[in-house]
Amino acid sequence: MSIDSALIVHKAALPTAAQLVADTAETGVTIVFPADFELDQNVGGWVPVTVDGEASGFNYGVQSLTGIDPAELPDGAAEAGDTLLAFGAQGSLSAETVTLIHAVMGRRYRAWLLIEDELLAPEDDWGPGASLDDIHVDRRGTPATLAADVEAYVAQHYPPITPDPHARTKDLLKQLVVPLLIFAALGGFYLWSQLQ
């Protein structure tokens, strides 16, 4: 499962990774980024993080909005900021980690959420010093708990599909049919040429 989303921010307002860790800690969640990671850095790949002691991470990239065709951006993107922070979650814990980062960045740094070509503006009263109480783990739950809840829901409502016991045999036969037909045709031509 991959979930892609982005934040549009003003690059000058980006916090350091250490400040984002401190802000996230106010929600009751401990996130540890790699030592050399900064939010303005275009990683262009996987960023391993630790969330409350559990290994997680997400794909991350940074791009200036000037490098993106305006036709590909929704209305209001220029007002939202000058930099796009792209996130790609892999799995439930990764998705919950990205969701928490989005929430903190929206509330404290007025980041606009871009998901599925829809741009969502931060609330008017959000900004530096905004309260993070409504996303505290006491009210919302930890990322690990939320991820486990999602996985339990999926397991309950979408049981695994049992494979067809004959599927492997069918696949093998499908792979052998063409070579066998070619072999038979070549053998037939050879026999026919010998009988002439």
pLDDT digits (tens, 9 = 90+) for 83-102: 999 999 998 899 999 999 99
Question: pLDDT class for 3, splitting at 50, 70, 90?
Answer: low
Distance CA 49, CA 57 (A): 5
Question: pLDDT class for 190, splitting at 50, 70, 90?
Answer: confident
Distance CA 140, CA 107 (A): 15
- In tens, the pLDDT along 126-182 reads 888 888 888 887 777 888 888 888 888 888 888 777 777 788 788 888 888 888 888
93/185 same-domain check:
no
Residue 162 forms part of a structural domain: no
114/183 same-domain check:
no
Yes or no: say if 49 and 33 are a contact pair by the CB < 8 Å rule. Answer: yes
Q: Which pLDDT does position 162 carry in this prediction?
A: 76
176/134 same-domain check:
no
Question: pLDDT class for 1, splitting at 50, 70, 90?
Answer: very low
- In tens, the pLDDT along 6-61 reads 999 999 989 999 999 999 999 999 999 999 999 999 988 999 999 999 999 999 99
Residue 2 pLDDT > 70: no
Side-chain half-sphere CA neighbours of 185 within 13 A? 6
145/179 same-domain check:
no
Q: Print the domain residue range for 182.
A: 168-196
Distance CA 169, CA 137 (A): 50
111/67 same-domain check:
yes
132/180 same-domain check:
no
Residue 12 forms part of a structural domain: yes
147/175 same-domain check:
no
Side-chain half-sphere CA neighbours of 143 within 13 A? 30
Distance CA 110, CA 166 (A): 55
Looking up tokens 């997400």, which residue turns up? 58
